[in-house]
Amino acid sequence: MPSKPTPLTMDAVYAKPGYLFRRMQQIAVAIFVEECRTFDTTPVQYAALVAIQTHPGIDATRLSAVIAFDRSTLGSVIERLEAKGLIERKPASHDKRVKLLYLTRAGAKLLRDIMPSVDRAQARMLQPLKPADRKVLMGLLAQLVDLNNEVSRVPLRAEDALEHLGRAE
């Protein structure tokens, strides 16, 4: 008896990791945007703001490594944040190529104000699970993301952020 060729039905697709990861990301973004609607800020923009706050004077290339965010797309994200007056771009004195990123006062205020909404969003994503299951899921996912870090185009390089220190402007 030959074994059935795998998918054929949608039910087989629904249980596959690729499908579940896409769906979960879709849901997570929807929840984030809904909770943070009044701030008109996306998950990616929020992550960028936090990273810039944590590492003032970081440049775009290092920022992309710190939030594992594609370098090409980051350009437009920065542009939008700058247009909204949340960040500033200043040329670096030590290297005519780089532009250093700083949070503006408005950006810092937004980060303070948006925090409760972000926390609510993060909580809502896991809400349907039992507390113990939430821990298990997050633990396994953190492991998996870490172990697969090198696979994506922009692996996370949290340490890269430190390279700009020691040459503060």
Residues in contact with a second copy by the rule CB under 8 A: 5-11, 13-32, 43-44, 47, 50-51, 53-54, 66-68, 112, 115, 118-119, 121-122, 125-126, 128-129, 133, 136-138, 140-145, 147-148, 151-153, 156, 158, 161
Using CB under 7 A as the binding rule, whether residue 29 contacts DNA is answered as yes
- 95 neighbors 60 (Cβ within 8 angstroms): no
Least distance (Å) from a second copy to the CB of residue 50? 6
Using CB under 7 A as the binding rule, whether residue 28 contacts DNA is answered as no
d(CA 141, CA 169): 38
Residue 37's SS3 state is helix
Tokens of 131: 């507390």
Please pick, from the candidates 56, 75, 85, 139, the single residue that binds DNA as defined by CB under 7 A.
75
Please pick, from the candidates 3, 6, 26, 38, the single residue that binds DNA as defined by CB under 7 A.
26
Residue where the block lists tokens 């993301």: 145
Please pick, from the candidates 7, 16, 20, 72, the single residue that binds DNA as defined by CB under 7 A.
72
Sequence-distant (≥ 6) Cβ neighbours of residue 15 within 8 angstroms: none
Q: Helix axis angle, 43-54 relative to 17-35, nearest 10°?
A: 80
In this complex, which beta carbon is closest to a second copy, that of residue 93 or of residue 143?
143
Least distance (Å) from a second copy to the CB of residue 90? 22
Least distance (Å) from DNA to the CB of residue 154? 5
CA-angle at 132, arms to 130 and 137, nearest 5°:
90
Count of Cβ atoms closer than 10 Å to residue 39 Cβ: 16
Tokens of 101: 């990123």
In this complex, which beta carbon is closest to DNA, that of residue 136 or of residue 144?
144
Binding site for DNA (CB under 7 A): 22, 26, 29-30, 33, 42-45, 59-62, 69-73, 75-78, 80, 95-99, 152-154
